[in-house]
Structures are given as C-alpha cells and as structure tokens.
Structure 1
C-alpha cells in the first residue's frame, strides 16, 4: 500500500513535468498530380492533445476561399463526388476546375493550441489535343517563311516536332542551318526557302501525358521568282513615268498651264459667246411668242338679259 501511495504522486509529477503535445496536422503528399477524369487523394493526418472529436474542415484557395468539406458534409461542386476517411479526402473524376491549392484545418477546442492546418496542391494533367498548324501553301524562293504549331490545352505544356514528307526534321543548331525549330513554341522557320524545301509538312505535340497528337499534313510549294517579268514590268513603269514627266515639263515650258494661255482665253471667249447667243435666242423666242399670242375672248361673269322677248 505504501508503494502504491508513493507511485501516484510520482506519476502526477511526471505528467506535469512532461510537456503535452498540442494538435498537429500534416500530409504525406503535399503535391498531387493526377490525370484528368481520374481520382485524387488529398491526405491529411492529425493528432490532438485532449480533444477526441476535433472539427475537420477542407477549403480551396483561389480568388475567394471556398468550402470543400464543412460541418460533416461536402459543399458546392464536390457534393456527391467526394468521400472522407479520417481527414483524408478523395475527389473522383477530377477536371481542370478542381486543380488548385487545398487546405486541411483541424480545430480542437480543448487543446492548448486548438487549431492546426496543412496544404495540398492538386495538379490535373491533360494529354495533348490535335494541335492547330499554320502552313502556307506556297512561298517564293529566298523569302523567310514560318510554320506554326500550337496546342493551348495540354498540361504540362506540350513540346513540338516537325515532319516533312513523314520524315522527322532534326533541329539544327549550327550557324549555317537552313531552318530552325523551336520545340517549345512550335515555330519552324526557314531563313531563305529554296526549291528543295517544297513538301508536305505536319507537326506532332506531346507532353508525356497520354498519346501524342499530330495535325493534318499540308503541302507547301516553293516557286522561283520570274526575273524576266519583273524586269519588264519595272522598265514599262519607268517609261510611263518618264513620258508623263517629259510631257508635263514641255507643256509647262510652253506656257500651257499659265493663266493667260491662248487656249484658255479662247475657250473662255467661246463660252461667253455661246452664252450670249443662247441669251439672244431666248429673248427672240419670248418676243415672237408675245407677238403671235391672241388672248381668248372673255366670257361674261354674270348672265343678264340684254333684250326683252315678247311672246
């Protein structure tokens, strides 16, 4: 009995000396990556000091913090497609809308430190879609030409490879390369295309998630410049400009554009003469019409007996 009575105070003293552990929250996978339309497990583990029934909450960060799990129920878009075991949440058939940063909060009111939290980042991977390709149908030799390939929906971003006539084009790194390929932007650039660059081009997008995708191939034709036609056109234009310039200079030199030029005065006098003749003809017509005009007899306004009739 004496031994037992001595142990109790010792145990009490030890309990008072040993520091108690407040609520702690952790996760074994802070970054989660899953394919689109698969399930995502967001782990959350906790330990409390005294409280055996702590409150569990999950929130999603963004422009506004929204509840995922609160008061024993899933909220919003997670209702009906998520489950919880302990404090670990499983989201089913995740999409890009579900990607983001989540926070697990454990509240233990009876602990000395009554709140703990941990964060989990969810990344939803999307395989490539068919990339959109911009391939010109024709170009002129010696010109700079760019072919573009882009897939804006793949996560992580896709890398690109170009094919000519179903043969992979190897990216060239030396200074004398006739073309350059940017595998990150999907741009294939020819510094100066040649006839040999004619062919059918296509592009493949891949990001390590799912199957790589290719756009439909298109044919690009490289045509030579018709030097003869260009020279003839330039010569004709120069001759036309020269003839017009010389003609204008000669006309100006001879005073054709001067204010008192004979031709200009002649046309002005002719116009005045024509206007004068027209005015005389108009007056003559009016006079003739006035001479030949005989007004009709006026009928009496009121009927009056001028003679009496006797029966």
Structure 2
C-alpha cells in the first residue's frame, strides 16, 4: 500500500496514517494468522531555516521480543540505500538522522530526499513492510528561458523554459505581451488566428509555421505548490519575411566578384606577369657518350687498326 506526504517549511500541518495487514497462512491446517503493522508520517512543527520530518513506524503483532526494524530509501532515479541498518543511521545520514525506537527523524531535507521510504519489521519468522512517498516542497527559482530574437516566417520556432530547483517539478505558463497563452488557442476568442502548441510539463512553446502575427514580447512563469511563482525576463521575438532583395543582391555581388577575378587573371597573363607554360618547363639535360670502337670486337680476335713503325 502506498501513500504520499509533502514535507516543507510552511505552516500547514499534515498527518497521514498508513496501515497494512500482514497475513500468513499455513498450507496444512488452512488457519489464518494476522499481524498488524502501522506507519505514521507526520509533519513536524514549522521550521523556517531547514526542513525535516518524523517518520513513525509503529507496529503490533507476533514479531517476537526484539523485532528488527530497518529503514530504506529509494530516490526518484531508482537508486536504493539503507537509511537505518542494524539500529543505526548509515554514513550518508549520520549527521541528519536520529533513530528513536522504531521511528526515524530526518533534518536538513532537500529535493534530493524525494522518493520512497520503506519501514521493514521482521522477527519470529514474520516480515512486514510499508512504503511511503515523501516529497520535499521547494519553491521554484527564476526559470531559464530561451527565446529567439529573430525568426523567418514559415519556419519552426521553439521557445523553452526550465527550472531545476523547484520540487515537485513545476508547471510552466507562457505569456505574450503580458497576456497568458491558452492551451488551445482555437477555443479562445482573440487567439483563433494563432497556431502553436504548449507543453506545460516541459515548458515548451512551439510554432510549427510561425507568422508575423506571432511577433511580440514573451516570457515564461514556473509554479508549484511550494511557494510563489517565478518568471523569466521578457524578451522580444521578431518574425520577418524572407529578404528576397538581399538574396538577389548577394548573388549579383558574388557574380561581379567572379567576373573581376577572371578579368584580373586575363590581364596579368596578357602583360606577362604570369609565367608561360613553355618557360615553366625545365630543359632536359642530355649527356652524349661516344660509342667505343672496340664494342663490336669479339673476345680473342685482334685486328690492326693502324700501322706500326719498326
């Protein structure tokens, strides 16, 4: 069985009692034996500096003279760890957890303490467990907004808003020219010509095909139940048509530059500033070696080539 409790530094008291029946059945005599396990989650007196909570785990039943009571914590990301093991707070909670009897008192709680706390009681061959979801209330901070200053008509435009401080996660509301944007603009008079989609959980305002009518000053507001809403600074978004004249002018300038470059190359070649192809090739070096007069003589043959004087 699950329940939830919200813990914060405000003056609203909250008291939740969660109970569960632990049943054990014998497969032989088909008799039923019941044990009763109860857990209380009670908000402490208002605290204006730090927030904390008392988690009370009261039980009754045949758990023996010295039942074993342990507390576990599973955060919103799924990581699980012991808060109380063998009757003592574990190292991460040693400075801000106090165990008295089977109960647990936590102090200096932040949004990181959001999650599920398990009270487990075991003894005399029996086991009981109760879970409670705890949410520490933290007011939202000033959200970070990303609003483009200039957008071309017909394009996709997305405005984002995000706050990572508030707990529980805040919702988001968008404003244009100080007027809140409705979730469905087609159902509200005065917004029927607008076309956008809102995601209040993610803080996104999306225009699939933006028009000049969507120009204006935009800002976002983040809010939850923990405190006053916060809004980002208003920023102007200007929607403009495609600058056809600028594109044509750019093409003409590019063509003129190419023509000027071609004329410069032609003029330099005409004046001889550029090396010609015939001059640029290196002349080959030819080495002439006369053929030996004895190349055609066979080995062992001797022919007289000149006369001898005696």
Contact 1:42/1:120, CA 8 A, preserved across alignment: no
Q: Does 1:118 align with 2:130?
A: yes
Q: Select which of 108, 112, 118 maps to 1:97.
A: 112
Q: Does 1:70 align with 2:83?
A: no
Following superposition, the deviation at residue 134 of structure 1 comes to 0.8
Q: Does 1:136 align with 2:152?
A: no
Work out the CA distance in 1 between the residues paired with 2:246 and 2:148.
Answer: 24
Q: Which residue of 1 aligns with 2:205?
A: 188
Residue 237 to residue 106, structure 1, CA distance change in 2 (3 Å): closer
What TM-score comes out, normalization by structure 2 length? 0.58
Equivalent residues in 2 for 1:161-176 (5 A)? Answer: 161-174=173-186
Work out the CA distance in 2 between the residues paired with 1:126 and 1:63.
Answer: 21
Offset from partner CA, 1:143-173 (integer Å, 9 cap, x none): 3322111223433322211122322223334
Contact 2:221/2:231, CA 8 A, preserved across alignment: yes
Offset from partner CA, 1:36-80 (integer Å, 9 cap, x none): 942223231211448445443333356454241533x33323334
Offset from partner CA, 1:105-159 (integer Å, 9 cap, x none): 33444xxx45443333323333322211111122233433221112234333222
Residue 22 to residue 196, structure 1, CA distance change in 2 (3 Å): closer
Work out the CA distance in 2 between the residues paired with 1:101 and 1:271.
Answer: 84
Q: Which residue of 2 aligns with 1:155?
A: 167
Structure 1 unmatched ranges of 5 or more:
1-18, 245-266, 280-311
Residue 128 to residue 225, structure 1, CA distance change in 2 (3 Å): same
Query: Which protein has the bigger helix share?
Result: 1
Residue 46 to residue 20, structure 1, CA distance change in 2 (3 Å): farther
Q: Give the number of equivalent residue pairs.
A: 231
Following superposition, the deviation at residue 231 of structure 1 comes to 3.6
Structure 2 unmatched ranges of 5 or more:
1-30, 187-191, 261-275, 286-310
Q: Which residue of 2 aligns with 1:42?
A: 55
Query: Which protein has the bigger strand share?
Result: 2
Following superposition, the deviation at residue 102 of structure 1 comes to 2.8
Work out the CA distance in 2 between the residues paired with 1:268 and 1:77.
Answer: 82
From the CA coordinates, give the structure whose radius of gyration is larger: 1
